[in-house]
């Protein structure tokens, strides 16, 4: 009679060892960038005595969801982050999306607005209407929401630097639509700490910026009960390259800092904490992202207990999520539809309250109506066709998910403890700690992709034989800017300029006073009613606070260490030795960001990697004009300028850079471009004089090889 097999761990180990031809099962273990070990098998022993393991949704520690009934009662809000060109065009886009099933609006503003400049400012020539909608005054905001009932529609606004004038314009637009501020619902991002860490669309230094945050929290807690005063964002950290544990830790540490900031205004924790919200990125690490959202709720409830809230709602983390932009690829772009679907599923299984799904063409350009419809339908299909909304926390109790959630929380707590030892997140940001750690993580990730250790289908494995042509949305930046300048001019002529100047003076005087003596948002609303522009309001505050200028640094040795011994890198370094022998110095590159685009992940990775490879690398300060970049390039005697672009200003700003070089009589310096540039624009840029273009997914050692060759082929090369 055949002996019955025992269903035990030891028996499984025995069978598995046989399949592995004698190797231990531990050889199947893998390690996450966070240091978390992933085992091939989890059992009930892995989840014994874990925190929150027997908890229920809607109950402390909220591991299983912030609401007791979750999606069976009310599915997540379907939002689409959108805004481009003029307020009129964005308004038409919103109305179409609402008609097709969208249940909340999420507004993207252009970089000129983010940075507190009016559309007629000389520094924003290439930025107006490009990566979002241009908003100069209340009149633009009214056009943006024309025919959209603000008492019924939840509106999320991604705004941090120019948060005062933008929020004020929204409140006044509501008033003049007949909707009082106490009926407005939605969220203002108002998360300035992450701007200093990764996104860089700040205006003022950290201290006055935090004062603005607390004033907005105070005002909204008093007068806008349906509105969220802040959306604490981890999204941009992941987009900048953070690990999952870093995103979780830095985001919640930011949240704690904002709570302390509001308490310093004299507010009680229960007056504002229930209206705090969070914003996370959802990338391709499926189970890790599910664990992150579950762990975020658990960890936030623990962190909030230090403030002794009486209302249990103060312990609850509610979040919006957005699928990853960084995971989208220019190569084989239709793969992005699958990526976004997987990320959306992770977000929903993790228990998000609202979701934006990126369009497949966003690695190339702004989304078209066609791609936006696919992205929106992804959510509708998940909600309406899959049955995913029928069960609360369907992965709750999974041995793997519960253990992964616990492990991730522990890793995040280690980072938060480091931050606490520094004196909190503001101090950590001032020391550059989060920024450095994120840049290190981003560089290591790029190295893994370049080496093929981390697979990106269609980029470093299973590359397509043909290039797919994708229709893109093209914004005529010059036309939009002219239209905005015309509207601004008409408003300045029709408004009472004495009242404008008087209200701006009151605002400046308020900024000079101690923070607890006055509220800056109250004074900004008055200025906005008088039709003061975003730029004028920002200038009135800048006169007192000054404009923040960050010191540009880059990590060193990280890329090199990850590539240690790699043949491709050895070959590149050999080429550089020959270059030095022939020309008496290393190839020298200036890496620049032109215009108001603060997304510097790509620029920092390139600068770090090229320096590690053997180039002499200079990094231009953020927000350079073409003329400023030209001056720096000539003064530093570089061979090549590398322009990193993400915000669609390349067709305006790069030709200006080439003109500027020509004007200065320098024809030796090469210009190359990289980043989010539609293939349709390659010919235009090359006709203008760009030597080479490198899109998302470019292999860095290969790019370095190409650029060395380009420099050497250039006639009259400067030795």
Tokens of 134: 């241009």
Sequence-ordered alpha helix ranges (H) in 331-398: 335-350, 369-385
**d(Cα 355, Cα 388) in Å, to the nearest integer?**
15
3-state secondary structure of 219: helix
Using a 10 angstrom Cβ sphere, with 0-12 exposed, 13-18 middle and 19 or more buried, the burial of residue 683 is exposed
Instruction: Choose, from 110, 597, 600, 612, the residue flagged as catalytic.
Output: 597
Q: By C-alpha distance, which of 34, 448, 63 is closest to 249? A: 34
Q: By C-alpha distance, which of 662, 643, 632 is closest to 707? A: 643
**d(Cα 214, Cα 640) in Å, to the nearest integer?**
45
**d(Cα 609, Cα 377) in Å, to the nearest integer?**
39
Q: How far is CA 370 from CA 79, 322, 359, in A?
A: 16, 19, 9
Instruction: Choose, from 599, 604, 639, 650, the residue flagged as catalytic.
Output: 599
**d(Cα 444, Cα 432) in Å, to the nearest integer?**
18
Rounded-to-10 torsion of CA 330, 334, 336, 337: 160
* Active-site residue, 202 included: no
Expressed in percent and rounded to 5, the helix, strand and coil fractions of the chain are: 55, 10, 35
Residues 6+ apart with CB under 8 A from 134: 85, 86, 87, 109, 110, 112, 113, 119, 128, 140, 480, 481, 484
Q: Cα–chain-centroid distance for residue 215? A: 24
* Active-site residue, 599 included: yes
- At residue 595, φ and ψ (nearest 5 deg) are 80, -155
Indicate the helix (H) or strand (E) that contains 155: strand 154-157
How many Cα atoms within 13 Å fall on the side-chain side of residue 131?
A: 28
Instruction: Choose, from 67, 114, 194, 236, the residue flagged as catalytic.
Output: 236
Q: By C-alpha distance, which of 604, 615, 501, 489 is closest to 550? A: 604
Residues 6+ apart with CB under 8 A from 393: 57, 64, 65, 70, 294, 351
* Active-site residue, 81 included: yes
Question: Which is it for the CA torsion 425, 426, 429, 433, positive or negative?
Answer: negative
Q: CB of 649 within 8 A of CB of 681?
A: no
* Active-site residue, 523 included: no
CB-CB neighbours of 571 under 10 Å = 12
CB-CB neighbours of 432 under 10 Å = 15
Instruction: Please report the DSSP string for 90-112 in residue order.
Output: HHHHHHHHHHTT--EEEEPBPHH
Instruction: Choose, from 71, 81, 202, 258, the residue flagged as catalytic.
Output: 81
Tokens of 111: 């970089």
**605 Rama class: left (phi>0) / alpha (psi -120 to 50) / beta:** alpha
* Active-site residue, 593 included: yes
Angle at which helices 497-512 and 534-545 cross, to 10°: 30
Instruction: Choose, from 356, 445, 593, 650, the residue flagged as catalytic.
Output: 593
**d(Cα 360, Cα 365) in Å, to the nearest integer?**
10
Instruction: Choose, from 62, 219, 235, 258, the residue flagged as catalytic.
Output: 235
Q: How far is CA 493 from CA 143, 532, 535, in A?
A: 19, 12, 16
Sequence-ordered alpha helix ranges (H) in 614-649: 626-635
Long-range contacts of residues 691-695, Cβ cutoff 8 Å, at least 24 apart? 691/640, 695/330, 695/331, 695/363
**d(Cα 444, Cα 635) in Å, to the nearest integer?**
32
Tokens of 337: 């539809």
Residue with tokens 């927000």: 623
Catalytic residues: 81, 235-236, 593, 597, 599
């Amino acid at each position: 009679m055949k002996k019955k097999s025992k269903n035990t761990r030891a028996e499984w180990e025995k069978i598995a060892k046989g399949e592995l031809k004698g190797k231990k099962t531990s050889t199947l273990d893998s390690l996450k960038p966070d240091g978390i070990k992933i085992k091939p098998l989890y059992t009930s022993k892995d989840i014994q005595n874990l925190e929150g393991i027997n908890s229920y949704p809607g109950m402390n520690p909220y591991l299983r969801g912030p609401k007791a009934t979750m999606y069976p009662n009310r599915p997540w809000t379907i939002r689409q982050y959108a805004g481009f060109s003029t307020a009129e065009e964005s308004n038409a886009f919103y109305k179409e999306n609402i008609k097709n099933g969208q249940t909340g609006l999420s507004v993207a503003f252009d970089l000129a607005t983010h940075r507190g400049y009016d559309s007629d400012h000389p520094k924003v020539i290439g930025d107006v209407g490009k990566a979002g909608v241009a908003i100069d005054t209340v009149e633009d905001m009214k056009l943006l929401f024309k025919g959209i009932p603000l008492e019924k529609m939840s509106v999320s606004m991604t705004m941090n630097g120019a948060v005062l004038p933008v929020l004020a314009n929204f409140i006044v637009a509501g008033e003049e639509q007949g909707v009082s501020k106490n009926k407005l619902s939605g969220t203002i991002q108002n998360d300035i700490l992450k701007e200093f860490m990764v996104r860089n669309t700040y205006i003022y230094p950290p201290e006055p910026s935090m004062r603005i945050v607390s004033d907005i929290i105070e005002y909204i807690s008093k007068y806008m009960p349906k509105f969220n005063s802040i959306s604490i964002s981890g999204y941009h950290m992941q987009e900048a390259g953070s690990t999952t544990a870093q995103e979780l830790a830095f985001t919640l540490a930011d949240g704690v800092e904002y709570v302390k900031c509001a308490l310093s205004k004299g507010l009680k924790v229960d007056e504002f904490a229930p209206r705090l919200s969070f914003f996370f990125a959802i990338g391709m690490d499926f189970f890790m992202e599910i664990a992150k959202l579950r762990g975020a709720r658990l960890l936030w409830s623990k962190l909030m207990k230090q403030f002794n809230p009486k209302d249990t709602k103060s312990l609850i983390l509610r979040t919006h999520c957005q699928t990853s932009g960084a995971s989208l690829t220019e190569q084989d772009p239709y793969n992005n539809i699958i990526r976004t679907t997987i990320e959306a599923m992770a977000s929903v299984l993790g228990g998000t309250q609202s979701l934006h799904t990126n369009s497949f063409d966003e690695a190339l350009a702004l989304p078209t109506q066609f791609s936006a419809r696919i992205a929106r339908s992804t959510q509708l299909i998940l909600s309406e066709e899959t049955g995913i909304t029928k069960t609360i926390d369907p992965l709750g109790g999974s041995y793997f998910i519960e253990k992964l959630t616990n492990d991730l929380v522990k890793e995040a707590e280690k980072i938060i403890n480091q931050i606490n030892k520094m004196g909190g997140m503001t101090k950590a940001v001032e020391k550059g700690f989060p920024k450095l750690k994120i840049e290190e993580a981003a560089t290591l990730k790029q190295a893994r992709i370049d080496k093929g250790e981390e697979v990106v289908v269609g980029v470093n494995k299973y590359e397509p034989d043909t290039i797919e042509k994708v229709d893109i949305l093209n914004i005529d930046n010059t036309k939009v800017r002219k239209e905005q300048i015309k509207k601004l001019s008409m408003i300045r002529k029709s408004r009472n300029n004495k009242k404008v100047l008087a209200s701006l003076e009151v605002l400046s005087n308020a900024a000079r006073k101690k923070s607890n003596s006055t509220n800056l948002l109250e004074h900004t609303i008055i200025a906005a009613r008088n039709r003061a522009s975003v730029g004028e309001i920002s200038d009135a505050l800048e006169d007192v606070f000054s404009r923040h200028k960050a010191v540009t640094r880059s990590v060193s040795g990280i890329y090199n260490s990850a590539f240690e011994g790699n043949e491709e890198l050895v070959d590149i370094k050999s080429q550089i030795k020959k270059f030095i022998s022939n020309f008496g110095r290393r190839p020298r590159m200036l890496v620049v960001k032109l215009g108001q685009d603060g997304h510097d992940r790509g620029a920092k990775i390139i600068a770090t990697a090229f320096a590690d490879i053997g180039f002499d690398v200079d990094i231009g300060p953020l927000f350079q004009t073409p003329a400023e970049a030209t001056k720096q390039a000539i003064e530093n005697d570089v061979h090549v300028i590398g322009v990193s672009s993400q915000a669609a200003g390349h067709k305006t700003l790069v030709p200006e850079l080439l003109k500027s070089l020509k004007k200065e009589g320098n024809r030796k310096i090469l210009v190359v471009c990289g980043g989010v540039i539609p293939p349709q624009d390659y010919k235009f840029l090359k006709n203008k004089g760009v030597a080479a273009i490198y899109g998302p997914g470019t292999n860095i050692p290969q790019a370095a090889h190409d650029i060395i060759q380009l420099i050497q082929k250039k006639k009259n090369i400067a030795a």
